[in-house]
Amino acid sequence: MQLYMNPMSTYSQKALIALYEKGLPVTLQVLNLRDRAVRQRHEAHYPLGRIPMLETDDGQQIPESSIIIEYLQDHYPSHGPCLIPAEREAARQVRLLDRLFDQCLNDAALTLLHLQLGIRQADERAERKAKKWLTAAYPMLEQALSNGPWLAGAFSMADCAALPGLYYARQFLSFDDRPLIADYWQRANTRPSVAATFALADQAWREQGA
């Protein structure tokens, strides 16, 4: 399998954590889609031109981080942890948390990051909205963590979604005064899948001079 991705991309990180958790062999195709030539080549190979995109050994192209994780769980259920529970209600809860943390935590943190880096034009309204969603996301994290070490009991797709958002959110809204989140962050970073994913991100940022 090949994962078309960028290590600084939160949604790429989300898919990569899941692949590492499953222990599946994967070749990383690292793309900088801000480079026009790279973007055009990727669009020629995959018309939507988005990342992450998982290409299977038989040539199937699977986009969108959540769908990639669904595919991995469906096709490799005996590899690594169960990232989406088989029980219907538990699965629904994991998918709900996945959506919430993609939209409230991840996207808010990315908006603030893009504004800070000048990738996105200054927009006070967007900044206020992002900060509002980020402030709302932390109590949701705490509620989910109140009953166990991971967001939905065992490590799951919900954690794959939330951790990349926290990777960036921590620089805009500290969680040092929120023990449940701070402990969760430290605990998650002891998992080889998470540590390896963020090591790639750290390296990519250093190479960018950040």
Question: Which structural domain, as residue segments, surrounds residue 163?
Answer: 88-191
Indicate whether 209 pLDDT > 80: no
Of 60-74, 105-119, 188-202, the one with minimum mean pLDDT is: 105-119
In the predicted model, what is the mean pLDDT of the chain? 95
- The average pLDDT across 42-68 equals 95
Query: pLDDT at position 85, please?
Result: 97
Query: pLDDT at position 121, please?
Result: 78
Domain assignment of residue 16, yes or no? yes
Domain assignment of residue 196, yes or no? no
CATH assignment of the domain containing 52: 3.40.30.10
Q: Note whether 57 and 100 are same-domain residues.
A: no
Indicate whether 210 pLDDT > 70: no
* H-type alpha helices, the chain: 10-22, 36-45, 65-75, 88-100, 107-117, 124-145, 157-169, 179-188, 192-207
Number of compact structural domains in the chain: 2
Domain assignment of residue 198, yes or no? no
pTM score of the predicted model = 0.95
Helix (H, G, I), strand (E, B) or coil at 5: strand
- The average pLDDT across 27-51 equals 93
Query: pLDDT at position 122, please?
Result: 76
